[in-house]
Amino acid sequence: MKLKRKIGIVGTLGVLATMAYFSLLHLETTMIVDMRRLFRSNLTFATTCPSMQVRDDVTVTSRRPARTCEEVQHVVFAKTHKCGSDTLAIVFMRFADERNLTIMLPTGEWNLNWPGTLRKGVYHEPETRYFDVLTLHTVYNRSTIAPLFPPDTKHVTILREPYAQFASAFNYFGVGNKMKTTKNVSSQAEKFELFLSDPDSYLKQHYWPHLPNFMSFDLGFKPTTNHTGGDARRFVRNVVADFDLVMIMEYYHESLVLLRRRFCWHVASILFITKNKSWRRVFASAADRERAESLRALYARWSPVDIALYAHFNASLWESIAKEKSFAEEVWYFTELNQRVSVYCQKVIMRLNPPPEEFNVPESPWDAAFNVTSAMCARMRRNLLAYIASEKAKAGLNKLVVPTGT
């Protein structure tokens, strides 16, 4: 199938964002490779930090003097679609669970009124004045969220390379299967190309207001807003002002290490096992470079706000990393440790070659020694629905309440 060339003059924001987008695809890869080359030798673990008891099965012990920072325990995670956000949501839920913090739990099964904003009736009211942690899908609106959390709450989100995020969403929401066309197309790749050749006409067939600029939509950008004018630029500035940390999925480990440092968390708190990962692909063949670049350009015209958003925060992530000391070393250490813990937990859950009851992590330059137990593995392995159900049971909210209205 021949792809129609529809690349025309784009608004000022679209042009600048698209240029930054394509240049960063090469630049960011070079930066991370160079950074990881800085440190490939064995580490000497010598320093420690103070004892901390969280739950009976999560203990950090050490002789190090007390930390000068205070652990952040109030977090709003604005969950974006198809950005590795299920995995990150489990990180935040496990952190809250292990400290008996109050999580905002839905009255429904899994979200908080998405694709709408947060409102009363879609969450169980807290027993105290505030919630501690939000980690489920809702369209972000600080004015409706902030009053429900303490004043010192940190706001976090995560972004993904926009073209890849859209391709994943296209597959996840079954857009190709719902398209009506007289053209002879059968594969998902052909439907993907056909959609991008004239996306607005296919959007009229179904109610998919979130597909263009999907990540921006999740963060509160209205579909009716001007995509290439002052409203779009103002939106990016608002995200900068609202969020304390914007993570990047392509640099998951780097983002988590930065979160750990900024939030004064222990290494054990950011360990994870990947959730809800899709292995299907709908991209054009890498061998057909010109065709693939045409698809990317068509997408960039259609979703310039997501392009601008990602370009800004991908750059700001590396600006923040450049200010950190021994960052490459900690990323290397955390990547290796997380892989070993994942293997251990897999053996625990699958009961393969029964491992010891605990996985002992020695002291490192970044944290005290700690143990990974089978109970911790079980929490890390839970999917999001199971964790929500577990937290509801713990809070005595077993009865499912379906909210009324819109």
Does residue 192 lie within any of the structural domains?
A: no
Write down the pLDDT at residue 57: 56
CATH number of 352's domain: 3.40.50
Burial of 59 (0-12, 13-18, 19+ CB in 10 A): middle
Domain that holds residue 144: 12-173+208-394
Give the helix/strand (H/E) hosting 210: none
pLDDT tens by residue, the chain, 406 residues: 433 333 333 344 444 444 544 444 444 444 443 444 433 333 333 223 333 344 545 555 444 445 679 999 999 999 999 999 999 999 999 999 999 999 999 999 889 999 999 999 999 999 999 999 999 999 999 999 999 999 999 999 999 999 999 999 999 998 988 888 878 887 888 889 999 999 988 888 877 778 899 999 999 998 877 676 777 888 999 999 999 999 999 999 999 999 999 999 999 999 999 876 654 554 544 446 677 788 999 999 999 999 999 999 999 999 999 999 999 999 999 999 999 999 999 888 887 666 667 899 999 999 999 999 999 999 999 999 999 999 999 999 865 444 443 3
Write down the pLDDT at residue 155: 98
Write down the pLDDT at residue 399: 55
Does residue 184 lie within any of the structural domains?
A: no
Identify the sign of the CA torsion 360, 361, 362, 363: negative
pTM value?
0.82
Write down the pLDDT at residue 8: 39
Does residue 378 lie within any of the structural domains?
A: yes
Does residue 180 lie within any of the structural domains?
A: no
Write out the DSSP string of 142-191: HHHHGGGS-TT-EEEEEE--HHHHHHHHHHHTTHHHH---SS---SHHHH
Helix axes of 252-263 and 304-322: crossing angle, nearest 10 degrees = 60
Cα–Cα distance between 131 and 330 in angstroms, integer? Answer: 32
Does residue 194 lie within any of the structural domains?
A: no
Q: Which of 341, 393, 405, 368 is nearest to 105 (CA)?
A: 393
Domain count, the chain: 1
Does residue 27 lie within any of the structural domains?
A: yes
Does residue 1 lie within any of the structural domains?
A: no
Does residue 195 lie within any of the structural domains?
A: no
Cα–Cα distance between 44 and 120 in angstroms, integer? Answer: 52
